[in-house]
Every structure is written in C-alpha cells, then in structure tokens.
Amino acid sequence: MTMPRPWWQTGVVYQIYPRSFADADGDGIGDLAGIRRHLDHLVWLGVDALWLSPFYRSPMRDFGYDVADHCDVDPLFGSLADAERLIDDAHARGLRVLIDFVPNHTSDQHPWFQESRADRTNPRRAWYVWRDPRPDGGPPNNWRAAFSDVPAWTLDPRTGQYYLHCFLPEQPDLDWSHPPVVQAMHDVLRFWLARYVDGFRIDVAHLIGKDPALADVPAPVAGLPQVVLNDRPETHALLRALRSLVDGYPGDRMTVGEIYLLETERVASYYGRDDELHLAFNFPPLYAPWTADAWRQQLASAAATLDPKGAWPTWVLSNHDNKRHRTRYGGDERRARAAAVLLLTMRGTPFLFQGEELGLEDAHVDAAARRDPGGRDGARAPMPWERAAPHGWTGAQPWLPFPPDAAAGSVEQLQSDPTSILHLYRRLLGLRRALPALHAGAQVPLAAPDGVVAFERSEGSSRVAVFVNYTEEPITLRHTPGTLLASSVTIHETTPSFAGVLAPYEAVVVHLAT
Ligand code: GLC
C-alpha cells in the first residue's frame, strides 16, 4: 500500500501579493480584510492553499521584504487580529495558509539592527555581518548586491565598519552563524506555527549560510549579485534545523524555499535527504522560452535531478519578482491558455500568481509611477475585480496602475463568460483535484512531433495524456487516443473523443483507455 501524499504535493498554491489583491479600507493599498472578502474566489477557482507575501511591519523599501517586526502586521495591511481572522476564515473554507518567512535580512529599522549599529560593543553587534574596511578603505570583499550593481556592503560612518546587505542597504543581512540569531528566528516560526499557519515560503532560503571567510567570488562572475551565487554547505545544516522544528508541529506543516540558483541540480540539493526543505522553487522553467525544445529539456531535467532523490518538483510561471508569463510569451492569450494546461498537469506542485487565472499581462508603469527599486512593478499591478472602473478598488487610486484591458480581464467579466481563461483554470484545477493521475501520478514523456511536448500521467489504472502545441500551426498527432478531458481552445464540459489534431497553440488533456 502506498502512503497518501501530503496536501502540499497534491495541492495547488495561489500566491497573494497583499498590496495588490484587494483593498477593504479604501486607501488604494490592498489589505488583509480585502483578502478575507475574496476567499470565496479562491474556493470557487479550486486552489488548495494560499501563500501570502509579507504583511509584517515594514518601512516598505522592498514592499515588506524588509521586515521591522516579524511578529506583527503592518498597519497598512491591518492588525495581528486580522491575520488571525484571515487564517481562521481560510481554514473554515478548507484552504491552507502559507506565509512568507524572510530569514536572510531584516529592515535597517528593525530594533535588532538599530542596536547592532549603535556601537561595536553592543550585544547585538554580532547579529549582523560587520567588517572593517580594506586597507584602502574599500568594502571587505567583491560581493555585489541585487537590484542595482553596487557593492553588497555599506560603510556605517559612526562605527567605521561596513555591514553586509545582499539586497538594498536598508536590508542588512543577519548572521546565521551566530546562535542567538538562529534562536530568535526559530522563535518567529514558533510564533506563527502557534497561530496555525500551514507553512512557510522561505525567502532566498539558500542565502542564509555564508562563507565564514567572506572570500571574494571569482572574477568572471563578480558582476553577478551574491544571491545567485551563494551555495554553501552551512545553509544545509540551518535548513535541517528549520525542518525539524516545523515537522515537530502536528498537521502536515511545510516549507517551500526560494532557491535563486538557476540550475535544477543545485535546487535539488536543498531537499537534502528529505530532511531540509519540503519543496524548493525551481526557477529555470520560469526563465525558459515558450518553445517545445526548451520545455522538453526542463521536464527532463526536473525528472533526472529530483526524482532519484524522491524530491517532489514545483512549477512556477509567474510571481511578484518577474514579468508575468503571458507578457514574457509575447502577449498572445492562446499561449497563456496552453501554459495553464501545462502548469496544472505536470507532476509536482504548481504555484499560481494572483491574476494569472485572468490571463493578466504586466501593467505599463511609466517612469513617474514606478515604485519598486527592482523594476518589478508591472507584475504587481492591482487585481481587477469588477468590470467598471475602478474595478472593485473603491476610494483612493490604487498604488499602481491597472494591467491593460482591466475591464475585459476582470473577475466579473471572465466569470460571466464560460469560455474564458478563468473558466479554463477552474476546469483544470477541478480535473487535477479529481484525477489521482494528475495530482499524484507518475509522469513519462511521450513521443511527439516537433513543436509538441507530450507526456503521460498515470496512477494505478488511470492514465492521462497531455499534448501541448507550442507552434502557430495545426499539428496532427500520430495516434488519436481516447476522450478529451480539457482543451485550452474549447472548454469541453462533455467528453467528446479527441480527433487527434491540435489547433495552433492548443494544449489538451486526454483520458487514455485502459
Ligand atoms: C526574494 C523576494 C523578493 C525580494 C527579495 C529580498 O527574492 O521574492 O521580492 O525583493 O527576496 O527579500
């Protein structure tokens, strides 16, 4: 008998970026009460869990990824009581809740850093990474920060030392080699586990262990930020400790780590021997172009590197850090629909980003409206709920402009059209939940013509095939096996047999006879 798989393997996670999801208090910035009002959208859609990007107290230099208090909610988003209500309301609807845990750095306004920078003898000095300047007065090593190509070190004139920050200068890195830091961050996890969160998305999880020597990185890669280079043995021990803490709580709690190392093989190492991360984001597919060759390779590389370790894959096409996939794939809705079929039928846990079920494209954000130091505003545009402007955002103008065609892409409009991409997502999520072959089964590649990716999913006697036409031409498949469960072009509620011809950019799910 096989053990049933945990929810975080069979389920689908929906990422909410709280600033841009829904605004209940009318200040133009989304909030926790806004999320609570729209939980029924997620239930109707058919996802299993939501992941909330940070809602903690923060000066918002990196929109919440600069945390000033890990155990309180920023007043912009509500209160701790609102967070507890949101968790309860989600659970009451059968939705799991993941929250963002940001371990690598804090805000420079966090009391820990304020004390740390006060003077060299402060007991919190060792909580962050402080070093003397080089003899020439320059930064201690050649590491670069993310977002802009500047040194990952800032000189604090008051104490004459540099501090490390792999992101903005307002995001100093914690020193995880200092045991009190580990204890304090474990306490943060305990605080939220006691409030019944189902798990954590761990921000840049691979970054917390650092080279103790803080050595220069080799010259040829010196222009890359440290966040895409840091791959250290120290991190694995730290993650094992996090894992055993989380596993000590009842109810299938879990972690999914952001591993910004752009090789699936490296990502795989962060699952450990099933004693580090439960799941790790694998970003190479997110950066792959929309071509059959590229995707065949991505599927093969996930199978070759993760399967032998028993590591369960994850799939992400869009998130708050990258252009939306519809935009990356050239804007054509047919490609976004085919991508939905692919994302929701591959073996592994899919992560959806709010608004991808609407087929949203990035907003055009002109220079004057830009807010993010990392240039990621376009994907973070507000969700259009209603057809009529301001699309369910009452009160003040939302903090960013809406995506293009917000009326046509609104939840209200797309719900009223049974052929819309929104209904396609819902149908696919329903199929995935209903069929063990899709949510739990094995996956093997199938032979297919050029321009098509095909694979079979199976569990017991249930067998499903998926065909994705990446080209602008119709393609005839060699065999025409079985009944059609879903198509990205026509959303079939019945189950006609599949004629064996894929329309341009069509993806289909076919039930194979046993
Ligand atoms: C992660 C987050 C990103 C943030 C960065 C620093 O990559 O996804 O939004 O800016 O970490 O915390």
Per-residue HEC secondary structure of 154-176 comes to EEECCCCEEEECCCCCCCCEECC
Ligand 1 atom nearest residue 376's Cα = 9
18 CA → ligand 1 middle, Å: 15
pLDDT over threshold 90, residue 498: no
Q: Tokens for 428?
A: 């696919």
pLDDT value at residue 38 = 98
167 CA → ligand 1 middle, Å: 8
**For the packed helices 333-343 and 421-434, what is the interaxial angle rounded to 10 degrees?**
10
> Can 258 be counted among the known catalytic residues?
yes
List of residues 6+ apart from 493 with CB closer than 8 A: none
Averaged pLDDT, 286-311:
97
Please state, in angstroms and rounded to a whole number, the distance separating the CA atoms of residues 198 and 408: 35
182 CA → ligand 1 middle, Å: 20
pLDDT over threshold 90, residue 482: no
pLDDT over threshold 60, residue 277: yes
pLDDT band for 493, please (50, 70, 90 cuts): low
CB-side neighbour CA atoms (13 Å) of 133: 11
In whole numbers, what is the pLDDT of the chain averaged over residues?
Answer: 96
Averaged pLDDT, 355-363:
98
pLDDT value at residue 173 = 99
> Can 203 be counted among the known catalytic residues?
yes
- Binding-site residues, ligand 1, Cβ < 6 A: 62, 65, 102, 167, 203-204, 258, 320-321, 374
* Domains within the chain, CATH numbers bracketed: 111-164 (3.90.400.10), 441-511 (2.60.40.1180)
Cα 349-503-337 angle, rounded to 5 deg: 35
pLDDT over threshold 90, residue 124: yes
288: buried, middle or exposed (CB in 10 Å: 19+, 13-18, 0-12)? middle
pLDDT value at residue 495 = 61
pLDDT over threshold 90, residue 494: no
pLDDT value at residue 514 = 66
Measured by CA distance, the residue closest to atom 4 of ligand 1 is: 65
pLDDT over threshold 80, residue 341: yes
pLDDT over threshold 90, residue 17: yes
Strand partners of residue 463: 458
Residue labelled with tokens 């000066």: 59
Measuring CA to CA, which residue among 465, 467, 425, 460 is closest to residue 441? Answer: 460
Ligand 1 atom nearest residue 227's Cα = 7
Averaged pLDDT, 456-468:
95
417 CA → ligand 1 middle, Å: 36
Rg, Å, the chain Cα set = 23
Strand partners of residue 105: 173
Measured by CA distance, the residue closest to atom 7 of ligand 1 is: 204
pLDDT over threshold 80, residue 204: yes
**Which of 204-208, 247-251, 395-399 is the least confident region?**
395-399
pLDDT value at residue 111 = 98
pLDDT over threshold 60, residue 1: no
Averaged pLDDT, 476-490:
86
pLDDT band for 3, please (50, 70, 90 cuts): confident
Q: Catalytic: which of 48, 100, 108, 203?
A: 203
Measured by CA distance, the residue closest to atom 3 of ligand 1 is: 321
Q: What percent of the chain is modeled with pLDDT above 70?
A: 98
Residue labelled with tokens 């650092």: 210
Which of 62, 202, 323 most suits a substitution to test ligand 1, by most atoms within 8 Å of the C-beta?
62
Q: Catalytic: which of 62, 258, 356, 372?
A: 258
pLDDT value at residue 478 = 83
pLDDT band for 2, please (50, 70, 90 cuts): low
407 CA → ligand 1 middle, Å: 30
Measured by CA distance, the residue closest to atom 2 of ligand 1 is: 203
Please state, in angstroms and rounded to a whole number, the distance separating the CA atoms of residues 111 and 63: 18
